[in-house]
Chain A
Amino acid sequence: MRLIAENLGGERGGETVFSGIGFALEKGQALIVTGPNGVGKSTLLRVIAGLLPAAEGRVRIEGGPEDFPSVASACHYLGHQNAMKQALSVTENLRFWRDFSGEVALSVEEALETVGLDGIGHLPFGYLSTGQRRRAAIAKLLVSRRPLWLLDEPTAGLDKASEGRFGGVMTKHCRDGGMIVAATHLPLGIEGARELRMGEAV
């Protein structure tokens, strides 16, 4: 399975943010998107996910199983917001996303253990600290199976130990044949990740 972006251009509010971005990502590879603020990293991820229309070029996924015919159906998108409800408990939130997304992978308890949140699943999401919220959102990636992870500054708010643990989670995802596109300013600790620097070639 391959993710291919050809000559991709993105715009925000009618103004071109970036153009001519192209890459091909093979199974098991990770792509780290870096660059200064405002260069369009988040826009790129949203264009890849299909949440924003591409101003030019296109993104497609090839050779995947028939469960994942399009990029949108094959991806987990982790944006700046965690997509969790404050009033519901962590477990309820995760269980909802597992049931809604389908393709069950880990159980909710296993996912929480993987991100080091075991024992607080019963707390309302609103009670958690910023870092814990982010970790719960990362656990969301684990409860249902998607080959492609689109991560927008995934480690924002995480402490060193959690960063390391998340690096391990991402490395394992790649080793299992997954793909990752992550926009970040910090090193993520994925082994063998490629880098796409935005804002320099243009």
Chain B
Amino acid sequence: MSGRTEGGVQARASQNMLALFLRDIRLSIRAGGGALTGVIFFLAVIVTIPFGVGPDLNLLARIGPAILWISALLACLLGLDRLFQADREDGSLDLLVLGNDRHMLALTVLVKCLAHWAGSVLPLVVAAPLLGLFMNMAPVGIGATALTLLVGTPAITFIGAAGAAVAVALPRGGLLISVLVLPLIIPVLIFGVSASYGAVADPDPFLQPFLILAALTLFLAVLGPVAAALALRHGTD
């Protein structure tokens, strides 16, 4: 009996979370959702780099993975301030926080992060191979960079959620979030870029930094939502 009830509760919880995920995806696609903002920013930065660096193809190929990673990182930060702020402005956040007794707030935050990532960051990962061509990168390097972005960018969203939760009540929280979050993301950037280089530069390893990157993402997938949930719980006014 109790097992069945528990199963029912779990089924209900997953249904709740699926509803939240689909709503956030829908919102990011609809007008004003900002799914494209990040991609356009990403494109703008990458296209500008060759003009600034000059037509040295070897140099571009060498700095390509790093430039892709840094641009993707900044593009990720761009939409983070709206992660909770939009919900706070229309009162939804109160109801999400009140749902804490039915399904943990940290889980709600995790699902919101996943939806944000799928709606706003995944397009960056998809666009990265194309933009890699602008940087004269080798196919292997392009593939490796896209793969590291796929594995590493969720970490940015997870830790960014904690920053977004802290700054949720501030009218211009975007900059503060970036300042709060950037130092914490540096390890993700370092291992992401070194794995990307490892795929093309021969003596450098690919697998080790890549695995550490994956571990960082998994670690932050727990830490970020829990920290964000705490901040949201105590930040309501």
Residues of A within 8 A of B (CB): 12, 46, 49-52, 69-70, 72-73, 75, 77, 79-88, 92, 95-97, 99-102
Contacts and interface: CB of A to CB of B under 8 A. Distances in A.
Interface of B: 12, 15-16, 18-20, 22-23, 26-27, 30-33, 89-92, 94-95, 97-102, 236-237
A49 B31 CA distance: 33
A70 B99 CA distance: 11
Q: Which of B19, B33, B95 has the most CB of A within 10 A?
A: B95
A88 B24 CA distance: 10
B101 to A, nearest CB: 4
Given A83-B92, A99-B15, A73 B102 contact: yes
B27 A83 contact: no
Contacts, number: 78
Contact of B33 (A49, A52, A82, A87): A87
16 contacts: A46-B236, A50-B98, A51-B97, A51-B98, A75-B98, A79-B91, A83-B91, A85-B90, A87-B32, A96-B20, A97-B95, A99-B16, A99-B18, A100-B23, A101-B95, A102-B12
B236 A72 contact: no
Nearest to A98: B19
Contacts of A88: 23, 26-27, 30
B90 to A, nearest CB: 5
A49 to B, nearest CB: 6
Nearest to B26: A88
B98 A49 contact: yes
A85 B237 contact: no
Nearest to A49: B98
A93 to B, nearest CB: 8
A82 B26 contact: no
A21 to B, nearest CB: 19
Contacts of B27: 85, 87-88
A13 to B, nearest CB: 8
Q: Which of B20, B27, B92 has the most CB of A within 10 A?
A: B92
Contacts of B237: 12, 52
B86 to A, nearest CB: 8
B91 A96 contact: no
A79 B92 CA distance: 10
A96 B19 contact: yes
A167 B159 CA distance: 46
